[in-house]
Amino acid sequence: MRIGLFGGTFNPIHRGHLLIAEQTRDHLSLDRVLFIPSGDPPHKQTESLAPAHHRLEMVKLAIATYSHFRLTDLESRSTHKSYTVETLHTLRQQEAGELWFIVGLDAFLDFPTWKGATQLLTAANFVVISRPGSTFTQLSALSLLPSLPSTGLKTLDDGHETRIEIATSSQTSLTLLRLPPCEISASVIRSRVTQGLTVSDWLPVPVQSYIIHHRLYSSY
C-alpha cells in the first residue's frame, strides 16, 4: 500500500489542490491520498485563517466524490501547533504501508526550519511538487538535503524532465516532481470572496456553497 499524505491549511481547498493530489497519485502510483488539514500551523499567519472545523468540513465536501481520497482530523482537532515530524510519527502507527509526504516546493524551501528536520527525510518518502515562483535549483542551497545534482535540478526547471528521485535512506527517498503550473491561489480566492467577486471556476460547488452559507472570508 502506497499512501500519499497531503497536508496544508486548505484555506480554502480549491480545484488546484484536487488536481495536484490526482496528478501526484498518478505519477507515483499511490493507492490513496490522505488529506491532512492543519489546525494551528506554525509557519502560517492566522489573521485570515478560517477555523479548523470549517476547513476540515470543506475538504470533506471537496473529496466526497473521489474514491481514492481520504481525510483525517489528526491535526485539525489538535489543541497545539501541528508539526510534520509529530504527524508522521502518529501516522506511521496508524497506516499500514509506505508513506509519501506531498509538499509544495515553495514550502519545502523552508525545510531546514521545520521541527525535527534531520529526522524527517528518513521518517517517510517526500514528494516535492513544483510551484510557480520557485525553482528546483534553489534546493541546492539547503544543507540538510542529500547531495542534489545541479544539472538534474536544471532539467526539471527547464521542463526537460518530469521527476528526479534521490535516496535519503535505505528505505526512503526524496522525489522532485514537476507538474503543470497551477495558478489557482487560495489567497486570491479569499480576497475575491471578501470583495464579493465570483470564484466559481476555482472552487468545487459544495465548497463554494459552504463558504457562502457560513460567510467565510466575508467582510459582511
Average pLDDT for residues 197-218, to the nearest whole number? 95
- What is the phi-psi region of residue 63: left when phi exceeds 0, alpha when psi lies from -120 to 50, beta otherwise? alpha
Residue 200: inside a domain: no
Residue 216: inside a domain: no
Non-local CB neighbours of 38 within 8 Å, separated by 6+ positions = 7, 8, 9, 10, 44, 52, 55, 75, 76, 82
Can you give the CATH number for the domain in which 88 is found? 3.40.50.620
Tell me the pLDDT band of 43, cut-offs 50, 70 and 90: low
Is the pTM above the cut of 0.95? Answer: no
DSSP string, 64-113: TT-TTEEE--TTTT-SSB--HHHHHHHHHHH--SEEEEEEEHHHHTTGGG
CA distance 143 to 152: 17
Q: What range does the domain containing 67 cover? A: 2-182
Q: pLDDT, tens digit, for every residue of 72-111?
A: 999 999 888 888 999 999 999 998 899 999 999 999 999 9
Q: pLDDT, tens digit, for every residue of 9-42?
A: 999 999 999 999 999 999 999 999 999 999 876 6
Mean pLDDT of the chain: 92
Residue 89: inside a domain: yes
Residue 201: inside a domain: no
CA distance 116 to 77: 22
Q: pLDDT, tens digit, for every residue of 112-126?
A: 999 999 889 999 999
Residue 204: inside a domain: no
Residue 103: inside a domain: yes
Residue 199: inside a domain: no
- Domains in the chain, number: 1
More confident residue, 127 or 47: 127
Residue 137: inside a domain: yes
CA 194 from centroid of its chain's CA atoms: 24
Tell me the pLDDT band of 219, cut-offs 50, 70 and 90: low
Q: Which residue in 11, 18, 26 sits closest to 187, CA to CA?
A: 11
CA distance 45 to 87: 20
pLDDT > 80? residue 44: no
